[in-house]
Amino acid sequence: MLRDDGRSGAGLDGSQVTGGIYCCQAPTAAYLDTVLVTATVGPEVEFPNGAFRQTGGLVPIPVTIDVGSSTIDNHYNAARVSAGGAFNGYVLDFSGAPMITGVSLNALSTLTPTSLSWDANSVFINVASQRLLLDSRILINVLAVPEPTMSAMMLGGIGLLGFYGWRRGRSPLKGVRRVA
């Protein structure tokens, strides 16, 4: 599996990711088909094969999910056909991560998901009715906007104070005497 090791402050590294498999109508609690699993994004594989234990009637398709600084790599370990429905797939919820502003399918993917979407804190990977082959791979690029660092915010504040001080020193009333 490839992994994005271009570590930067803007990535998902160090954030908490909670994953689950939802079937077969919507990615909501009513259709959660596995136990939710939480991991910290880092150098290890966050969700190794077997991490998702079933709670409903459908058996999860063997998959390894590795979250990198700016990628999500789903690597299937068995050949199966996934169940149909409006949504049958994975939801990865991030906390302590930059806001997600977009996702795209990487050209190294060997399988195109039924749909791929996101919101500010989550990525939704729908594989409903897909024929998964041994070693099928969905590699997703994740775009995230970093939160400003503390030092950048302090420098901005100091700059504003300096600007206001400079403007105050240039007041048109400076040096003008009032006559009573």
Q: Which residue has the tokens 């700016």?
A: 70
Q: Whole-angstrom Cα distance, residue 71 to residue 55?
A: 28
pLDDT of the chain, 180 residues: tens digit per residue: 333 333 344 589 999 999 999 999 999 999 999 999 999 999 999 999 989 999 877 889 999 999 999 999 999 999 999 999 999 999 999 999 999 999 999 999 999 999 999 999 999 999 999 999 999 999 999 998 865 555 455 566 666 666 566 566 665 555 555 565
Tokens of 60: 């999860």
Give the per-residue pLDDT at 2.
32
Encoded amino acid at 177, one letter = R
Tell me 135's DSSP state.
T
- Predicted pLDDT at 15: 94
CA distances from 70 to 41, 97, 115, 165 (A): 11, 11, 19, 42
E-strand ranges in the chain read: 16-24, 37-40, 63-67, 71-76, 80-81, 87-95, 99-105, 115-118, 122-126, 131-132, 137-145
Please give the structure tokens belonging to residue 91: 């939801």
Q: How far apart are the C-alpha atoms of 95 and 149, rounded to whole Å?
A: 17
